[in-house]
Chains A and B, each alone.
Chain A
Amino acid sequence: MQIPIERYELDNGLKVVLSEDHTTPVVALNLWFNVGSRNERPGRTGLAHLFEHIMFQGTVHVPDTGHIAHVERAGGSLNASTWLDRTNYYDTVPSDRLELVLWLESDRLGWFVPALTQEKLDNQRDVVKNERRQRVDNQPYGDWDERLQMLLYPPDHPYHHSVIGSMADLDAASVDDVADFFRTYYAPNNGVLTLCGDFDPAEARRLIERWFGPIPRGPAIPPLPGRPLLEPLKIGTEIRETRRGGVPLPRVYLAWRIPVYGTQDYYVADVASELLAGGKSGRLYRKLVRGRRMAQTVAAFVLPVVTGASTLIARGSAPGGEDPALLERALRDEFALLASEGVDPAEVERAVTGLEARHLFDLQKVNERADQISQLTTYFDDPGLINTELDRYRAVTADDVRRFAAEYLTDDNLVVLTYQPDEPAEAAS
């Protein structure tokens, strides 16, 4: 299965990738900007994400909430998301409405600032505060990623603060702050536009030039604030935090700093987490859930982030009344075994088989394909990796896993975050 890739660049610096597929009469437009919470200055955290919300509030030519209404009435779906390194905007529409979404997406890149008002800012600030209440404050364990980021990365690293940011900072943000943020980061030379699905490439090129071509190139993108490089990469000590109350059952998170997405060791880390917790044949499930019954659920995963260091995170939730220290010990022992005893090549093979299969299942959707292409182009300027990235996984050996574990999954490179109920939860009686 080969995904076709056609890459070029507009004069204003916008990178464009076209990937045709005529099986279903739909087309996905996916636009990545190389800006995320990592670009925020101290005192102005949460701006990248607040900004993503305001981007739906209209332009000089598109009225407030008109963007979403236009796409929905065209029979399309759309959304956007903000993360540490990037912000993405995406629409999937019937293929006869391609030009509609090119209009809408180019308009908010070229004609956003003059339409920005205090009222829009205030309204979306309220929405974001409610997003935080719903996802973080009123949700057991809802602050886990915020806590881990704070513990894993030093205060002057761009990943130290969460994507949703500080509510006090949001309150302090002015219309000028938002406009400045836009002028700094929302420029064609800081973006990647991917089209995937049912379109004619020559026609698509013409339409993209028509709508995006007139937008001027922006100034050079400023360097990241703080100290994005982590040298040494490892933490150098063990860091612990326990959160008490507000959760029904105990839960333990372990997180190690590891090399960033794109390095071969990152792929090794992904395979290691897959063979530990990817399926029910994984070591953590087999031993801790099914075998010793000290965990209800387990998970392990890596974050595809590219600034300084990524992280490998493992999670286990304990049955009511169980001492989370026991679960922590057991989880740590399993990671230690990777280094001390190594792994079976058959486990590596199973892990890669699972990763490969899920990769193909995901790629069935044009929007998923477009998102992956934009990601690979934004981070590595290499959209063709969508066809070859699996080779990086296939190259991972059992020895790699052992060496990687010995180097990075060590006690002096570890954050332990534990959640404890107020009082030991009684087992059902």
Chain B
Amino acid sequence: MSAPVLDRTRVPPRGPLRPFNFSTVHRRRLANGLTVLVAEVRKFPVLTVDLLVDAGGVVEPEGEDGVSAMVCALLESGAGGRDAEEIAELVDSLGLSLDAGVSWDTGQVGFTCLRARLEGGFELLADLVRRPTFPAAEVERVREERLSTIQQRRGTPSWVADEAQGRWIFAPDTLFARPLGGMLRTVEGLGRDEVAAFHARRYRAAGATLVAAGDASVDEIVALAERWFGDWEGEGEPVPEPEVRPRLAETTVVLVDLPGAVQSEIRIGHLGIERKAPDYAAVTVMNAILGGTFSSRLNLNLRERLGYTYGVSSSFASRRQPGTFGLAAAVQTEVTAHAVSEMMRDMREIREAPVSAAELDDARNFLAGVFPLGLQTTDGVSGKLTSIATYGLPDDYYDHYRGQLLAVTAADVQDAARRRLWPDRAAVVIAGDAARIRGEMEALELGPVVIADPADFEA
């Protein structure tokens, strides 16, 4: 039997396309004001449950930067009738994967578990959220741990660059200029009183959301929520909207000196967009073309053409309020200036001329195609529920998400680039060997060149 001759130069045809639908989002509200969002995902006997409260970085009291993260870290240090050791034993005996952390907008604590352990997980979650005891010795221990983490980051070039970027995007007297998680001087001042007070004010039923995705029915989840959180009380305090103001009026090169560094960590950034921005889909497609994929303009240029870096990318980090936009790359020291000029050129070009039809098509198809890949796991789905809850997106938002991406036009992309990319007022942050790169950076004439001292990071 002879096979037909195969033409290897032609892209094989598509097979039959099967539709993909985001799980139906079910919304309930308990009498105490707790919102419950559920998506049934019935493949593996696995569930993810997360409790969200308005207890992130934006609600930290003045001078207490880092307290929200401390509270989250301390929930499992003692709660209900159990001490830290008993909680740890319970978590591990149940095989829970416990996760607690903060963003600027929220505090979040939750778990992924096997279906058979769901009730045990709920019981524990209710204790952690509602009845933490914050033992003084644990508060002290976690504070020392966080101080060490800050020291550790300040010794890591990529972290130094990230922190400097935030400080040069936002005006120094505004909240978002400072790192989420706090600074040495603020974390040092955090004790049991600050932690307990923050918890009492911000971990409240009204305004909180419980999200669950996995192998259980809506009714089962709602019954568990009633049982373990139904008698949780408390009105939330209003959430302030911190001022968002950029620092720079013109593009400025900021050199953070790391003598002897073999690479320069480059971050070019400025103010970004809020998650509910009407042009979010257009911005997402534009970013994919610029630096959001392997085949993006930036990566093909700096990695594949020039060989300057292991990878370069661009991204928008969105929040309830405008977040950041940034280009990031680590390049060998001797090519720093040329790498920066190429990055700036790619950033300008996407504003100046429309993207090609092929680029547009590729980016839209990429984003629409990879969307379901992240939704194979229960924590992937619960992450989307978390976005709906945190940013106030419509419950059917993800039903239409792929359609929104596919509808973006070349004109939308250019429009988004012109509005959302600011090559003339960007912070060009470089953490590297300043003595070796300063002259070349000045010769680029991008704007003023300043030397930043990591000691300023305590401001």
Contact = CB atoms under 8 A, between A and B. Distances in A.
Given A26-B372, A361-B46, A248 B365 contact: no
Contact of B45 (A1, A73, A135): A1
A279 B11 contact: no
A22 to B, nearest CB: 8
B151 A320 contact: yes
A130 B295 contact: no
B293 interface: yes
Nearest to B17: A96
A354 B92 contact: yes
A82 to B, nearest CB: 14
Nearest to B378: A364
Contacts of B174: none
Given A68-B294, A72-B366, A296 B307 contact: no
Contacts of B96: 357
A366 B365 contact: no
A70 interface: yes
B452 interface: no
Interface string B241-266: 00000000000000000000111010
A65 B295 contact: yes
B97 interface: yes
Given A25-B18, A211-B6, A364-B378, 12 more contacts: A97-B15, A100-B11, A134-B309, A134-B330, A138-B262, A248-B151, A249-B148, A249-B151, A280-B87, A293-B144, A320-B151, A428-B147
Interface residues of B, number: 84
A428 B114 contact: no
B15 A364 contact: no
Interface in B62-116: 76, 84-85, 87-89, 91-97, 112-114
B66 to A, nearest CB: 12
Given A279-B91, A361-B46, A96 B14 contact: yes
20 contacts: A1-B45, A25-B19, A25-B20, A69-B295, A70-B11, A72-B366, A75-B366, A77-B373, A100-B11, A129-B332, A134-B330, A198-B18, A248-B154, A280-B84, A282-B92, A285-B88, A286-B85, A357-B113, A360-B114, A364-B377
A281 B92 contact: yes
Nearest to B309: A130
Interface in A231-285: 247-249, 278-282, 285
A388 B432 CA distance: 50
Contacts of A198: 18
Nearest to B261: A138
Contacts of B148: 249, 296, 319-320
A319 B310 contact: no
B401 interface: no
B153 to A, nearest CB: 8
Contacts of A129: 332
Contacts of A213: 3
B349 interface: no
A128 B91 CA distance: 41
Interface stretch (A119-127, A220-228, A323-331): A119-127
A25 B372 contact: yes
Contacts of B226: none
A103 B112 contact: no
B12 A77 contact: no
A92 B331 CA distance: 29
A95 interface: yes
Interface in B334-366: 361-362, 365-366
Contacts of A122: 307
B310 A361 contact: no
A205 interface: no
B15 A99 contact: yes
B224 interface: no
B8 A319 contact: no
